[in-house]
Structure formats: C-alpha cells, structure tokens
Amino acid sequence: MKLSPAEEQLMESIWKLEKSFLKEIIDELPEPKPANTTISTMLKRMTEKGFVGYIAYGKSRQYYPLIAKDQYFSKQVQGMIKNFFGNSALQFASFFTKETPMSPSELEVLKGIIDDEIKKAKP
C-alpha cells in the first residue's frame, strides 16, 4: 500500500519524531500548516492503512510509525522497478546513473558500493 504525497510528508514528521502528539506533528510541518482536523483525518487514514499506530491517553493520542522509513522506501523502489523497468534492477540502475546528475566523487562512492556488493555475492 502507498501513501499519498501529503501522507508521505506527514509520515516524514512521524519518522523524525518517533513518538509524537498531534501538536508536535503539526509543529514539524512547513507553513502554511494544515488544519488540525485535516491532520487528524490523515492520521486516521494512515492508521487504517497500517503505517501509524497510537497510544491513547484520555482524549489525546501519541502516534508512532509502524513501518520504518527505509522499509517503506525500499518497497516503493521495488514497486517502481517492477512497474517501470520490467522488474529489472539492472535497467533501473542504468537509468538512474545516466539520468541523475552526480559528481565524479559521488560516482566513485557508488562504484565502491557496487564493488562491495559484488564481493558479497561471490561464493
């Protein structure tokens, strides 16, 4: 399941804060800040989708992420590879390196990551 762009922005705040009440989440959002009712509705939807949990303290709720940021990002990238690159990580990597402006030093870092993964994959 995927989050909408507005939900992803809200999720970024929740990941950053780890555990937070509505006011703390709203304080993290950029201006213009959405209405409290809008955020509450989004949090309810995100809870129903299984991205956010909460602990009730009377009428207040302390929200926390149910999915780690890297886990969510990984699923989104895997979906993109499947849907746009014929499920080929090679095609995705080729497109990414050609279409993303990177400095020579960034390319060297990327090369090092690839070299490390090749070493891990060899028996």
pTM of structure: 0.76
What is the C-alpha separation between 16 and 28, in angstroms, rounded? Answer: 9
Which residue is it, tokens 């950053």?
A: 16
Predicted local distance difference test score (pLDDT) of residue 72: 92
Question: What torsion do the CA atoms of 111, 12, 1, 101 make, to the nearest 10 degrees?
Answer: -30
Which residues lie across from 102 on neighbouring strands? none
CATH number, span 5-65? 1.10.10.10
Instruction: Residue 13: name the closest of 32, 34, 30 by CA.
Output: 30
pLDDT digit string, tens, across residues 8-38: 999 999 999 999 999 999 999 989 988 999 9
**What is the CA 28 to chain-centroid distance, rounded?**
16
pLDDT digit string, tens, across residues 57-80: 999 999 999 999 999 999 988 988
Domain ranges of the chain: 5-65, 69-121
